[in-house]
């Protein structure tokens, strides 16, 4: 229902193709038959919990791990057999891995020296890189004399100095505190976009992935659960796994009762009304079990009973988490199930439902999603 957006430069090319990559350690499958197409100029996030195989996949792109099978094609060239020092790929490491015995300048020049670039050109490039990350003043400092954010900028400058075809970011904000993280996320994206380099990043933080990347792939147990734009993944998760991974969801287990071309009705024991969606659902004839999912911000709370017979339920306010911009209401239904509902605090002193008040939660017909269990 949502059009997949084109990559930023409008070319839907296949700049980086990952084809059926498998990586096992002894008997453990770390990456299980993963294929991805990444367009030129994309900032692509691999999102997953620890142990999902996202870091292994990134390390295979860098060349530190060799896949058991599969191909990695970058700009038309299969790079699987290339040693890390031969790949036109640079990585920003999780803890930055800045060389502690070298100054900021020397760190940035390191890769250029390996290419035997003339000294004057190296010096020019270093200055250019320092300017790019706004670190001109710190050229002579050692890494230990820098703050976390400054170290990150140096690490970014070092990984961009060789103008790689592909930039890898391993948990780019992992070493920063929350406040700095939000600032650096946008700053790093600005720098990457100004250079125009294609970028693959690994993160376990969905907010970070959605802020920084224009495409996301969710990984779980070595496989890609879903890939697409942040909006695709949030609004149209293709599975229960994807839905539960990003954001929060209210889920109702049930079975299809009416399966029409333009709508469906679902019976669920977890709610006192039937559930209705205003679009057709393809279901298997023999298995009518589905999960109905609706995001908390798409539900509304009212003191009056809503009209109609679908998509509402009654409960009491069990808890309110006031978060400033919005509040998260925890509504306890008669059967004990807890629903989450966001309420935007647009009025400073609005008369909102309070603890233990009887309320109704409802949502529109096109807000819900029907997923396979």
In the bound state with another protein, the residue whose beta carbon lies nearer, of 108 and 294, is 108
Please state the closest distance from residue 193 (CB atom) to another protein, in A. Answer: 22
Q: What is the DSSP string of 166-184?
A: EEEEESTTTTS-HHHHHHH
Nearest to 74 by CA among 2, 16, 5, 114: 16
Q: Residue 341: in which H helix or E strand, if any?
A: strand 338-344
In the bound state with another protein, the residue whose beta carbon lies nearer, of 1 and 83, is 83
Contact yes or no for 267/258 (Cβ under 8 A): no
What the block records as the tokens of 82 is 């290339």
| Residue numbers at the binding site for another protein (CB under 8 A) | 62-64, 83-85, 89-91, 93-95, 97-101, 110-111, 114-115, 142, 144, 158-159, 162
Please state the closest distance from residue 282 (CB atom) to another protein, in A. Answer: 46
In the bound state with another protein, the residue whose beta carbon lies nearer, of 25 and 322, is 25
Q: Is 75 left (phi over 0), alpha (psi -120 to 50) or beta?
A: left
Please state the closest distance from residue 52 (CB atom) to another protein, in A. Answer: 20
Please state the closest distance from residue 107 (CB atom) to another protein, in A. Answer: 9
d(CA 372, CA 90): 40
Please state the closest distance from residue 49 (CB atom) to another protein, in A. Answer: 21
Please state the closest distance from residue 85 (CB atom) to another protein, in A. Answer: 5
In the bound state with another protein, the residue whose beta carbon lies nearer, of 101 and 179, is 101
In the bound state with another protein, the residue whose beta carbon lies nearer, of 94 and 327, is 94
In the bound state with another protein, the residue whose beta carbon lies nearer, of 100 and 325, is 100
Nearest to 212 by CA among 238, 192, 195, 232: 192
């Amino acid at each position: 229902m949502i059009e997949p957006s084109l990559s930023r430069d409008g070319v839907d090319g296949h700049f980086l193709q990952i084809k059926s990559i498998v990586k096992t350690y002894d008997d453990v499958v770390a990456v299980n038959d993963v294929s991805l197409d990444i367009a030129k100029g994309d900032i692509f996030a691999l999102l997953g919990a620890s142990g999902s195989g996202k870091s292994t996949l990134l390390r295979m792109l860098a060349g530190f791990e060799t896949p058991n099978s599969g191909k990695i094609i970058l700009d038309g060239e299969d790079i699987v057999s290339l040693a890390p020092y031969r790949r036109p790929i640079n990585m920003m490491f999780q803890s930055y891995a800045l060389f502690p015995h070298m100054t900021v300048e020397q760190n940035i020049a390191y890769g250029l020296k390996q290419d035997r670039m003339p000294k004057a050109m190296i010096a020019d490039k270093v200055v250019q890189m320092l300017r790019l990350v706004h670190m001109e003043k710190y050229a002579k400092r050692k890494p230990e004399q820098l703050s976390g954010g400054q170290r990150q900028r140096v690490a970014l400058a070092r990984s961009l100095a060789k103008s790689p075809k592909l930039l890898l970011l391993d948990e780019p904000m992992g070493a920063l505190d929350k406040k700095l993280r939000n600032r650096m996320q946008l700053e790093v994206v600005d720098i990457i976009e100004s250079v125009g380099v294609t970028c693959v990043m690994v993160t376990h933080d969905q907010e970070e992935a959605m802020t920084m990347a224009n495409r996301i792939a969710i990984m779980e147990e070595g496989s890609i659960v879903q890939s697409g734009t942040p909006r695709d993944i949030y609004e149209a998760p293709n599975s229960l796994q994807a839905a539960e991974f990003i954001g929060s969801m209210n889920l109702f287990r049930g079975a299809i009762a009416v399966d029409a071309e333009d709508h469906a009705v679902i019976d669920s024991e977890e709610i006192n009304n039937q559930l209705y969606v205003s679009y057709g659902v393809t279901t298997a004839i023999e298995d009518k079990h589905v999960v109905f999912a609706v995001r908390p911000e798409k539900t509304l709370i009212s003191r009056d009973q809503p009209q109609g017979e679908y998509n509402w339920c009654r409960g009491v306010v069990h808890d309110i988490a006031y978060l400033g911009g919005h509040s998260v209401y925890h509504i306890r239904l008669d059967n004990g199930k807890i629903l989450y509902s966001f309420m935007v605090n647009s009025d400073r002193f609005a008369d909102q439902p309070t603890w233990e008040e009887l309320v109704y939660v409802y949502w529109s017909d096109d807000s819900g999603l029907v997923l396979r269990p």
